[in-house]
C-alpha cells in the first residue's frame, strides 16, 4: 500500500461514513494543519508559518510560483495570496477572503489542547475552528479541487488569507490594499460575517452579511483639584462623571433602516410569529411606529440593528483610597449605523450629558463604510444553492453589529458579502471562547456549498 493511500485511509476513518470522499479528506487535512499552527498575536504565534504551509499545498497542486505569494510586513505576520487564472475574459476576479489569526487560548481554560485538532462526538475542536480557519481551509481546498478538475474559470479566482483581521494600516486587508492592490483587486469579495443558524439541530436560516456598523469610542473625563478624603467636598469627579453617564444611559438614538436591515426584518417576519412578527412588518412599513420600535428594542440584537448605540465599557478614577479623585474617566463605545456621522454622535453625547465639565474626546479616527448592494448576480446563486442543499431555508441579508475586514474592501470599491454555508447552533456560540468547535457535517456541507458558489460565480 502506498504512503499516500495509507494517509488517505487514516483520514477517512475519522470522517462520518456519509462523508467519506477525497474532497472531504483534503479539506479536513488542510483544516487540521491550520488549527495546529498557533497563529495568535503572541510570541508563540506565527501566521507566516500558516501562510507558507498553505502556499506549499497550492504549489504541490500545480499552481505556479507567480500565482502563490506570501507577503509579510513583519516576521510572523505573513499573508497568503493565491490565484487560479481564468480564460482571460473581461470580467474582473472574485476575491475569497479569510483570516489566519486567532485569539489567544490558554490550555488551562480548555477541556483539551486548543492547538491540537481534536475530533470528539460530531465536532472538530480547536482554536479557530469557527473563527475563521474553517473558511480558510475551505478556500484552499476549493482552489486545489478546481485545479485538479482542470476547471478554467471565466474570471480569475483569488484567495487571500490574512494575518491580522482588522489589523489597520500595519497588516491584513488594509495593508494589502495599500501595498499590493493589484493582487487582490476584484469585482466583489466573499468573506466571513454571515452563515447558517441551527435551532434544536435544524437549520432555520442562512444569512448574508452585506453591511456592518462603524466602531467609534469616546473618552469622557472630569478633572478637579481633589483633596483629602477626610474632608469631602461637594464637588467630586466620580459623582459628576457618574451623573453624566446615567443621563447618557437613558438616551436612545433615532431609528433608521437601511436597504439591508429592511430586507432583514421583512424576511425575519416570515420566520417569527406573534407580536414580534407583527412588529417587524410594522417597522418595515412605517419606521416611525413607536410601539413596534419599543417592543423590538427589548432585544439587544434587534435594538442594535435599528439605531446607533453607545454604551459605557470602562471606568478609571482616583489615585489613592484616602484622597478625593482628581480625575475620573470613562470609555463609551459606540457602534454607528452606516451613514451616521461620528462628529454628530459626539455632539449628541455632549448634549445629553449636559455638563461642560465633562470633556468628550474621540479615541481614534473612525472608518465609515457603506453597505454592499444586494446585487441579483451575487444573491441569486446564494439563494439557488441554499435551496438545493437546504430546501426551504431562507437567505436573509444582515448587518453585522460587530466588524470584519469587509469594511476596508467596501471602502476600496470592492463590494463584500459575508456568507459561509457554515451552520451553527444559535444557543452555543463558542467563537473566541472555551472549547471552540464546529460540527463535522456542517464543515463538510460548507465545503460543498462554497465550492458550488465559487463555480457559479466564475462559470
**Residue 388, SS3 per DSSP:** helix
Grid coordinates of 289: 411606529
Q: Which of 328, 346, 362 is the last residue of a domain?
A: 362
295 and 159, same structural domain? no
Question: Does residue 394 fall inside a structural domain?
Answer: no
Per residue in 372-395, pLDDT (tens digit) is: 999 999 999 999 999 999 999 999
Q: Identify which has the larger pLDDT, 142 or 21.
A: 142
What contacts 270, CB < 8 A, 6 or more positions away?
277, 394
220 and 181, same structural domain? no
CATH code (residue 108): 3.40.630.10
**Which residue carries 474626546 as its cell?**
361
Q: How far apart are CA 51 and CA 73, in angstroms?
A: 13
Mean residue pLDDT of the chain comes to: 93
237 and 183, same structural domain? no
- In this predicted structure, the answer to whether residue 415 has a pLDDT above a threshold of 80 is yes
56 and 106, same structural domain? yes
- In this predicted structure, the answer to whether residue 306 has a pLDDT above a threshold of 70 is yes
Worst-scoring range by mean pLDDT, 3-12, 307-316, 344-353, 429-438?
3-12
448 and 302, same structural domain? no
121 and 9, same structural domain? yes
Burial class from Cβ neighbours inside 10 Å (0-12, 13-18, 19+) for residue 266 reads middle
Q: How far apart are CA 459 and CA 456, in angstroms?
A: 5
**Cβ-based neighbour number of residue 290 at 10 Å:** 10
Question: Does residue 451 fall inside a structural domain?
Answer: yes
Grid coordinates of 232: 469631602
Question: Does residue 123 fall inside a structural domain?
Answer: yes
Residue 168: pLDDT band (50, 70, 90) is low
Q: Which of 334, 362, 390 is the last residue of a domain?
A: 362
| C-alpha closest to that of 401 among 272, 211, 125 | 211
229 and 278, same structural domain? yes
CATH code (residue 340): 3.30.70.360
Could you please report the per-residue DSSP string of 190-227?
EESS-EEEEETTEEEEEEEEEEEPEEEEEEEEEE---E
131 and 29, same structural domain? yes
Question: Does residue 381 fall inside a structural domain?
Answer: no
Per residue in 201-236, pLDDT (tens digit) is: 999 999 999 999 999 999 999 999 999 999 999 999
Are the C-beta atoms of 346 and 325 separated by less than 8 Å?
no
Q: Across residues 88-98, what is the average pLDDT?
A: 93
Polymer length in residues for the chain:
459
Q: How far apart are CA 80 and CA 95, in angstroms?
A: 12
Per residue in 4-17, pLDDT (tens digit) is: 334 444 444 444 44
- In this predicted structure, the answer to whether residue 429 has a pLDDT above a threshold of 90 is no
Overall domain count for the chain = 2
Per residue in 188-203, pLDDT (tens digit) is: 999 999 999 999 999 9
131 and 61, same structural domain? yes
| C-alpha closest to that of 312 among 241, 260, 378 | 241
Q: Which of 305, 338, 362 is the last residue of a domain?
A: 362
What contacts 356, CB < 8 A, 6 or more positions away?
none
Are the C-beta atoms of 137 and 30 separated by less than 8 Å?
yes
Q: How far apart are CA 203 and CA 426, in angstroms?
A: 10
242 and 150, same structural domain? no
302 and 164, same structural domain? no
- In this predicted structure, the answer to whether residue 309 has a pLDDT above a threshold of 60 is yes
Question: Does residue 202 fall inside a structural domain?
Answer: no
Q: How far apart are CA 347 and CA 222, in angstroms?
A: 17
Q: Across residues 23-43, what is the average pLDDT?
A: 96
Grid coordinates of 87: 480564460
Question: Does residue 70 fall inside a structural domain?
Answer: yes
155 and 40, same structural domain? yes
Question: Does residue 60 fall inside a structural domain?
Answer: yes
Question: Does residue 372 fall inside a structural domain?
Answer: no
Could you please report the per-residue DSSP string of 99-120?
E-------GGGSSS-TTS-EEE
**Structural domain harbouring 318:** 213-362
Amino acid at each position: 500500500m502506498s504512503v499516500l493511500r495509507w494517509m488517505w485511509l487514516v483520514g477517512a476513518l475519522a470522517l462520518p461514513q456519509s462523508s467519506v470522499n477525497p474532497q472531504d479528506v483534503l479539506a479536513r487535512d488542510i483544516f487540521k494543519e491550520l488549527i495546529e499552527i498557533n497563529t495568535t498575536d503572541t510570541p508563540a504565534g506565527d501566521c507566516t508559518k500558516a501562510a507558507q504551509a498553505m502556499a506549499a499545498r497550492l504549489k504541490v497542486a500545480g499552481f505556479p510560483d507567480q500565482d502563490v505569494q506570501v507577503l509579510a510586513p513583519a516576521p510572523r505576520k505573513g499573508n497568503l495570496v493565491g490565484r487560479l487564472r481564468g480564460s482571460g475574459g473581461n470580467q474582473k476576479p472574485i476575491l475569497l477572503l479569510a483570516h489566519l489569526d486567532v485569539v489567544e487560548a490558554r490550555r488551562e481554560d480548555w477541556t483539551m489542547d486548543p492547538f491540537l485538532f481534536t475530533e470528539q462526538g460530531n465536532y472538530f475542536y480547536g482554536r479557530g475552528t469557527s473563527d475563521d480557519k474553517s473558511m480558510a481551509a475551505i478556500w484552499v481546498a476549493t482552489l486545489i479541487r478546481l485545479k485538479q478538475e482542470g476547471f478554467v474559470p471565466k474570471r480569475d479566482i483569488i484567495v487571500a488569507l490574512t494575518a491580522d483581521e482588522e489589523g489597520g494600516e500595519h497588516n491584513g486587508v488594509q495593508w494589502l490594499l495599500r501595498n499590493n492592490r493589484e493582487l487582490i483587486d476584484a469585482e466583489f469579495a466573499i468573506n466571513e460575517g454571515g452563515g447558517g443558524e441551527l435551532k434544536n439541530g435544524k437549520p432555520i436560516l442562512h444569512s448574508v452579511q452585506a453591511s456592518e456598523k462603524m466602531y467609534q469610542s469616546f473618552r469622557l473625563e472630569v478633572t478637579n483639584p481633589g483633596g483629602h478624603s477626610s474632608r469631602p467636598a461637594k464637588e467630586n469627579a466620580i459623582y459628576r462623571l457618574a451623573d453624566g453617564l446615567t443621563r447618557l444611559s437613558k438616551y436612545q438614538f433615532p431609528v433608521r433602516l437601511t436597504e439591508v436591515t429592511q430586507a432583514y426584518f421583512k424576511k425575519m417576519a416570515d420566520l417569527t410569529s406573534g407580536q414580534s412578527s407583527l412588529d417587524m412588518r410594522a417597522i418595515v412599513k412605517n419606521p416611525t411606529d413607536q410601539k413596534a420600535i419599543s417592543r423590538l428594542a427589548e432585544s439587544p440584537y434587534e435594538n442594535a440593528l435599528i439605531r446607533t448605540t453607545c454604551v459605557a465599557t470602562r471606568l478609571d478614577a482616583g489615585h489613592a483610597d484616602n484622597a478625593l479623585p482628581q480625575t475620573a474617566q470613562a470609555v463609551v463605545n459606540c457602534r454607528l449605523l452606516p451613514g451616521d456621522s461620528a462628529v454628530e454622535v459626539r455632539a449628541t453625547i455632549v448634549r445629553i450629558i449636559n455638563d461642560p465639565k465633562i470633556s468628550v474626546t474621540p479615541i481614534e479616527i473612525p472608518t465609515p463604510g457603506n453597505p454592499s448592494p444586494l446585487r441579483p448576480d451575487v444573491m441569486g446563486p446564494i439563494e439557488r444553492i441554499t435551496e438545493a442543499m437546504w430546501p426551504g431555508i431562507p437567505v436573509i441579508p444582515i448587518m453585522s453589529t460587530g466588524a470584519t475586514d469587509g469594511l476596508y474592501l467596501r471602502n476600496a470599491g470592492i463590494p463584500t458579502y459575508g456568507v459561509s454555508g457554515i451552520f451553527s447552533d444559535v444557543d452555543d456560540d463558542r467563537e473566541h471562547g472555551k472549547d471552540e468547535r464546529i460540527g463535522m457535517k456542517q464543515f463538510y456541507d460548507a465545503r460543498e456549498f462554497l465550492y458550488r458558489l465559487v463555480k457559479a460565480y466564475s462559470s
